[in-house]
Structure 1
Amino acid sequence: MPQQVKAVVALAKGEPVQLTTINIPDPGPGEAVVKVQACGVCHTDLHYREGGINDEFPFLLGHEAAGVVESVGAGVTGLEPGDFVVLNWRAVCGSCRACDRGEPWYCFATHNATQKMILAEGYLAGTELSPALGIGAFAEKTLVAAGQCTKVDPAARAAAVGLLGCGVMAGLGAAINTGNVRRGSTVAVIGCGGVGAAAIAGAALAGAAKIIAVDIDDKKLETAKKMGATHTVNSSQVDVVQAIRSLTPPPDSTGHEGGADVVIDAVGRPETWKQAFYARDLAGTVVLVGVPTPDMTIPEIPLIDVFGRGGSLKSSWYGDCLPSRDFPMLVDLYQQGRLDLDAFVTEEIGIDSVEAAFDKMHGGDVLRSVVVL
């Protein structure tokens, strides 16, 4: 039977979110209904509310979530009621060009639930909802594609492991998967919010010898140290490129100035990307994981510098993760005490406090507020 549940919805651009009632249909073929236990408040949710993703209002917000499968639709295999899952927004299709060539983390045809959840009250009652990143988990229950459910250790803390659903995985993966950080690497991370802090944790997990955290906020730099940063740079006070170079090996016999092996831009602005470009070592790697806005362009850089410095210029989508591979592994590391996902949970809040959490996000006082249901 279709159900009515409480959920957080953005009705119109820039307006405060509303806690309201929505209708959730029974799962159809390939779908699942999940009882949400916890969901992180991500900056992407705020982007949706502000119309920064698209204008398909009203949005059912929330996407960094963990919960328990309540029911599944026809044809679903490998997933059953009672399974503890982390929700992911990359449900790979298995048949596109990327999947066929063995790179499903680049899947071109990830899928969502076919049916729509619907507003049940207010002046827009009866309107279909657009779930954030195809999930919509600021809700007591949500309808997703079965492929968006990744089973993990049911003993894990939902408020912590649910964050793998977006920001924490993006940062960890930017270091481990995209940046290919190795034992002994020197890594710099520009921007130490939730994604940047996760990139630092990922670099530490991979065995990086030196991890340089860069931000304009000393509070975030202190947090970065707790995540594994060995050095910090306040970019409001010094030249970032020179500071990173001064913390990396000195000029060698060729006169080369040095730099980090991997520089991760977790801000996603032209000026920070340019800093990352010039702060990397010869043949080093730049990873862009911060999401730019559509109007931003690559800064003017002489093409000879692109050629002469070599290396790789990469973007990282969702940490280039494969949820079925990466989520269980990272949850196991968390359970073993080797990856501190609890450190990303600044506070636990109720479902009626999402708007207040957005305000705290602006102040830079939290890595993650997590809605616990």
Structure 2
Amino acid sequence: MDQPNPSLSGVKRVVQPSRQRLQVEGLWHRFGGNGAPWVLQEIDLQLQERELVGLLGPSGCGKTSLLRLIIGFDRPCRGRVLLDGQEVSSPTWLRPPERRNIGMVFQDDALFPHLSVWDNACFGMGPGRDRSRASWLLELVGLAGLEERYPHELSGGQRQRLALARALAPAPSLVLLDEPFSNLDVEVRLHLRSELPGVLACCGATGLMVTHDPEEALAICDRVAVLNGGHLEQCAQPRQLVEAPTTGFVASFVLQANLLPAQRVDEQTVSTPLGMLRCRSSGTAIDPIAPLQVLVRPEQLQLQADAQGPASVSCREFLGRTWLYRIQLGHLTLKLRQPLSNALTLHQRCVVGIDPAAELLLYPQRLPLVLV
């Protein structure tokens, strides 16, 4: 049975000004020749030494494609990748993956079933290397005493701990983690994700973790880079992402907020499906004639049952202390959080309003970037 490792309790990551471990500069990539769609567009990303950065976005946004370019499986169409200040990828140069000193933790652990725990942990260290680091890592991740077992004799959480120890054993410059907790049970996933920053801190390691779960990224990462349709929308510390999202997509995906289509009436007023609203700019440059959208957080909306109301409850979830409703208003679907006392039933008619004290932000609607 997988248990949290008490030796990691209280271990905190301290990211101090240091050299850049990874630099991704102006990266563009597509599969196929001219005319194929771009899967990554103008990606700029830096990781400092000892930093854990989350790469967050929905399925198909380019996360795995970016990982493949960093590890060296593919060559970029434009731009370059640098590790420890040395160029390892460009349109004309590709250092092989085995010469990049990068550790990799996969979604499905990818252990060697015919090798013991000990041999799996030592696999990437090469002949003649001091094996004491592997022993220390197995103790660090809570697998001391299990060295003679085989992967099929371990729990899912233990196998993923072993995969992490194996990736860290050669002391890599960078560790890439591709949704490492997605196949685990909820309790085990929570244990392992809380321990990951402590393990990397003890090893002095730099990590880039791919995830589609905003809660996971915000909980443990020093910074979070949000991808959408091949664009890097924003890269910032978790609190900054929550308090000051720079694009409508970041607000919608990370905060699960609503984006209302809007038309400008004057400098501070817009017309929306919920009526006239006063907003302030999000800080993003807005073309005077560009389509607009208003960010409304689920807790900023108000809900009242009304048999003659224009909206209806399409879904509701009990979250312990609140209800999460999805309300259908014409073609628009809204997410609302309401106190338990405001209990509406499925398909019940209602009216939706906005808290008069709510501070609403205005964003431009992003149009697709076309470059051939």
Task: Report the TM-score range of the alignment, normalised by the length of the smaller protein.
Answer: under 0.3
Higher strand share: 2
Q: Which entry has the higher C-alpha Rg, 1 or 2?
A: 2
Taking structure 2 as the reference length, the TM-score comes to 0.27
Higher helix share: 1
Taking structure 1 as the reference length, the TM-score comes to 0.27
